[in-house]
Amino acid sequence: MNPDQITDLVVEIAERARVASHALASLPTTTKNQFLNALADRLIAGTDDILTANALDLSAARALNLSGPMTERLTFTPERIAAMAEGVRQVAMLPDPVGEEIERLSPPRGFDLRKIRVPMGVIGIIYESRPNVTIDCAVLCLKSGNAAILRGGKEAFHSNMKLSEIIQETLTASGINKDAVQFIPTTDRWALSVLLKQDKNVHCIIPRGGESLIRFAVENSRIPVIKHYTGVCSVYIDASADPEMAESILINSKCQRPSVCNAAENLIVHQDAAAQLPRLAKALHDQGVELRVDANAKSLLTASGLPLVDATAEDFATEYTDLIISIAVVPDLQAAIEFINQNSSGHTESIVTTDAAAAKQFLAGVDSAAVFHNASTRFSDGFEFGFGAEIGISTDRLHARGPMGLNELCTYKYILNGVGEIKS
């Protein structure tokens, strides 16, 4: 398609989505849940077809020499498809946020005035690599009464088109306007530029992917953007940390799935816990992790014989999404808090300590969307928070922060019931 054809296509998709959103706003909960359960069934039934489409994407990824982490994000397995379907069922079991009373007010006039949740309207989701995002975003938007426009990356095009086909079939079979979830069927970058200008019909943009994609969306959008640029997460080992717990949380945070945004990129160690550092470094090395160390950490680890790389200041603000970690030793808890606040992307940080006062200070002082005590950073996730699937993670401060579930996909309006009052 040429640019004019793409423009016409995207504008039409946005207009149809806005029309569909009006009906979705009052769609009964039972109808939404029937659709979601039917979609889960169709995903399981279509496993072979999904894997066939995914194989085409994986073949192209190999030809393009796509990085290991990116390929891992792209890959479907029967187990991942089953988990995706289970996530859909969990969303069906969650309370419907639409119409929920947030607050009942008592204005001086004595009106019956209530603040209730309502859908945003139309949400555009731009994402790369992970095809499961197609399903996650579609179901969360529909359950929260929003129409969704999905624009995936070229590396997952075949997988996304197959998932979109399954969604469309299920919408039709459920008696729901198929324009409730639409997938932009081109990977041409111009489609993204056009979508970001549809402020008349699209009410929110959520980009998921690399920092360059997200910055492009923010810099070119006329529509409000909810996002996080990077996931630079830290694990801080406090002076009183239990050694076994510290190792377990660190290894899980860094190595369980290093390609995701809630994986730890920094290890910060209190100088009074420095005796634990050789053990922690060896455990990381045994998992294949490259160790980038500051001067203090290097002096403590030189005798270990482990391969070390001198860390730069920029390393501690870098999202690796790979088996690499930056390590710093700090003099005290407050220094750790300041170090994290300076270098973190505001995503997720964790303190490992048996000292309740230290934990309280850390939880209050660290300025991130999610802050944990004695738990892996990998728990910063909508599914783990009980939201079902999540539509993304926000490090913004307005409207939504942290994992975004159903409530975060709603805005609100005021409902006033009077008895004929007029203002004099």
> Residue type for 281, please?
A
Q: Are residues 62 and 144 in the same domain?
A: yes
170 in a domain, yes or no? Answer: yes
Provide the CA 160 distance to its chain's centre, in angstroms. 18
Q: Are residues 31 and 170 in the same domain?
A: yes
**How many domains does the chain divide into?**
2
Provide the CA 246 distance to its chain's centre, in angstroms. 26
Q: Are residues 269 and 411 in the same domain?
A: no
Where in the sequence is the domain holding 43, given as residue range(s)? 3-227+396-417
pLDDT single digits (tens) 237-291: 999 999 999 999 999 999 999 988 999 999 999 999 999 999 999 999 999 999 9
Specify the CATH number for the domain of residue 408: 3.40.605.10
Q: Are residues 220 and 255 in the same domain?
A: no
390 in a domain, yes or no? Answer: no
CA atoms within 13 Å, Cβ hemisphere of 422: 1
Closest CA to 98 of 76, 120, 82, 81: 120
303 in a domain, yes or no? Answer: yes
Q: Are residues 100 and 205 in the same domain?
A: yes
Q: Are residues 90 and 178 in the same domain?
A: yes
Specify the CATH number for the domain of residue 329: 3.40.309.10
pLDDT > 90 in the chain, percent: 83
Inform me whether the pLDDT recorded for 388 exceeds 70. no
401 in a domain, yes or no? Answer: yes
CB 125 within 8 A of CB 150: yes
pLDDT single digits (tens) 36-52: 999 999 999 999 999 99
396 vs 402: CA distance, rounded Å: 8
pLDDT grade for 118, boundaries at 50, 70 and 90: very high
* Residue 390 CB contacts under 8 Å (≥ 6 apart), including other chains: 136, 140, 381, 382, 383, 403, 404, 405
386 in a domain, yes or no? Answer: no
Q: Are residues 18 and 157 in the same domain?
A: yes
Taken in order 48, 181, 156, 231, the sign of the CA dihedral is negative
Mean of the per-residue pLDDT values for the chain?
Answer: 94
Q: Are residues 66 and 184 in the same domain?
A: yes
Q: Are residues 185 and 217 in the same domain?
A: yes
Predicted local confidence at residue 192, as pLDDT? 95
Predicted local confidence at residue 364, as pLDDT? 98
Q: Are residues 207 and 147 in the same domain?
A: yes
Predicted local confidence at residue 1, as pLDDT? 87
Inform me whether the pLDDT recorded for 138 exceeds 90. yes
276 in a domain, yes or no? Answer: yes
Q: If DSSP states are collapsed to H, E and C, what string results for 312-354?
A: CHHHHHCCCCCCEEEEEEECCHHHHHHHHHHHCCCCEEEEECC
Q: Are residues 73 and 24 in the same domain?
A: yes
Q: Are residues 38 and 177 in the same domain?
A: yes
Predicted local confidence at residue 320, as pLDDT? 94
Residue 61: Cβ within 10 Å count: 18
Residue 200: Cβ within 10 Å count: 12
